Amino acid sequence: MAKIVPKKTAMREQPAMERTKNFNEVPYGYSEQEAIQEAKRCLQCKRPTCMQGCPVEIDIPGFIDLIAQRDFRGAIKRLKDKNVLPAVCGRVCPQEDQCEKLCVLAKKYEPVGIGRLERFAADWEATQGEAPVPKKPKPTGKKVAIIGAGPGGLTVAGDLIKLGHAVTIFEALHAPGGVLVYGIPEFRLPKVIVYREVDYLRRCGVNVVFDFVVGKTATIDQILHEYDAVYIGTGAGLPWFMNIPGENLNGVYSANEYLTRSNLMKAYLFPEYDTPIVRGKRVAVIGGGNVAMDCARTALRLGADAVHNVYRRSRKEMPAREEEIHHAEEEGVIFDILTLPVRYMGDEHNWVKEMECIKMQLGEPDASGRRRPVPIEDSNFITPIDTVVCAIGQSPNPLIPQTTPDLKTGKWGNIEINPETGKTSKKGCWAGGDVVRGGATVILAMGDGRVAARSMDDYLKTGVW
């Protein structure tokens, strides 16, 4: 057996000082040489624990071994057996909490860079020209409608088209990808990657209809008149605010608005693109998740002098991926931890100019197991700011539940399903991803899509609900 190499092969990236001046991707990815070197670190365990951490059960040692043997085509094929969006997952999956966490090496050393290798294989494939489309299967004559072109909906589309069903995706916006396109910034996930995958699905025969707002343009019931089965993958797009004074001042954004303007509408290229965005000089981003990190790093790239990330617990409790926090820190984001905004104050033109915060300390653990933040009396202080981005979470958009009375929803407006099949309370309707889970992850949305696709195929073949 090869000698253990304790550290991951480093990945080159744009230096922090440079990258805050552009929206290009931060890490460069492995070269072939680096990928092979990293792949050789894998111990090829007989009973690989890493796979238990993968929600879509990728044959991890298998694809890594193929990379080690320089069979890149074989590696990408192995990945794609289980994961239709490897170039996306290699970049944005929280591997440190999934496969890499369970890597045997991680007990003593750094785990194998599974995510980096996944990314490498997918990027290699993209350099080989257009991916060939598999032979068209025999049509089953069944029609499937998928609502929402996020990672969940795209997974269902990919699985069902291969089985010969006619697949149409209805998407509310003018571009596919869901959060991958409107939420996650270009510097973390270049949009061409998503468009390439959608293009592949279209070449396979998937029909994508844009600008179609289900619940308004047509209801689920109207769609069910024409389609045999429906998958709802509409995500969690309803932004939350804190309901504190001053939140409707000019310059106070939801994360969704801020990111949608910058990413989907390309406001960072204003005025070449028509949609504007406020280029604040002193920006406060509220919240401690990936969404908050994306907003803070976007604000820097839009030219802010100071970006404060305001989070009510301590750094340890931040739900953002370690890599994202680290990147944000390197780029100069200022972390105001154990801090909670209590109100915003405006000037005579209704523009936000100051933020009042209160200091927090950690008390007893709450329901989530994290220690509850409690305010420290009389610790209020005021910071001058000109832009606020509220990134404290989101829940499912109510448009579809409101217009589909027999679709059962839970406390947060999330659609309820049977997790083993993805079936909702409504016959012929499946759901998955963020619309079921609230804000979760790309890979979980894809996993849900896979489970539902299997169940949908059964139903389409047998007619048994």
Give the footprint of ligand FAD on this chain (CB under 6 A). Answer: 92-94, 147-153, 170-173, 178-179, 183-184, 213-215, 233-235, 237, 259, 290-291, 294, 397, 399-400, 433-435, 440-443, 445
CA 107 to chain centre: 28
Q: What are phi and psi of 158, to 5 degrees?
A: -60, -40
Q: What SS3 state is found at 370?
A: coil
Q: Of ligand FAD, other proteins, none, which one does residue 174 interact with (CB within 5 to 8 Å by kind)? A: other proteins
Cα end-to-end distance, the chain, whole Å: 51
Q: What is the smallest separation between the CB atom of 353 and ligand FAD, expressed in angstroms?
A: 22
What are the structure tokens assigned to 225, written together?
């008149």
Per CB under 8 A, 210 contacts other proteins: yes
- Judged by CB under 8 A, the residue of 109, 195, 200, 270 near other proteins is 270
Q: How far apart are CA 465 and CA 460, in angstroms?
A: 9
* Beta pairing partners, 307: 283
Q: How far apart are CA 313 and CA 362, in angstroms?
A: 7
**Cα atoms in the 13 Å half-sphere on the side-chain side of 440:** 23
Query: Among residues 93 and 114, whose Cβ is nearest to ligand FAD?
Result: 93
Per CB under 8 A, 213 contacts other proteins: yes
CA 252 to chain centre: 23
What are the structure tokens assigned to 423, written together?
């079936």
What are the structure tokens assigned to 42, written together?
């894998």
Q: What SS3 state is found at 382?
A: strand
Q: How far apart are CA 216 and CA 231, in angstroms?
A: 17
Per CB under 8 A, 378 contacts other proteins: no
Q: How far apart are CA 388 and CA 283, in angstroms?
A: 6
Q: What is the smallest separation between the CB atom of 197 and ligand FAD, expressed in angstroms?
A: 13
Query: Among residues 279 and 372, whose Cβ is nearest to other proteins?
Result: 279
Q: What is the smallest separation between the CB atom of 184 and other proteins, expressed in angstroms?
A: 15
Q: Residues touching other proteins: how many (CB under 8 A)?
A: 42
Query: Among residues 200 and 351, whose Cβ is nearest to other proteins?
Result: 351
Q: Of other proteins, ligand FAD, none, which one does residue 195 interact with (CB within 5 to 8 Å by kind)? A: none
Q: What is the smallest separation between the CB atom of 203 and other proteins, expressed in angstroms?
A: 19
Tell which phi-psi region holds residue 393, choosing left (phi > 0), alpha (psi between -120 and 50) or beta.
left
Query: Among residues 96 and 257, whose Cβ is nearest to other proteins?
Result: 257
Per CB under 8 A, 465 contacts other proteins: no
Site for other proteins in 54-83 (CB under 8 A): none
Given the rule CB under 8 A, which residues bind other proteins?
Answer: 172-174, 210-213, 216-219, 222, 237-239, 241, 243, 247-248, 250-251, 253-254, 256-257, 260-261, 265-266, 270-276, 278, 349-350, 397-399
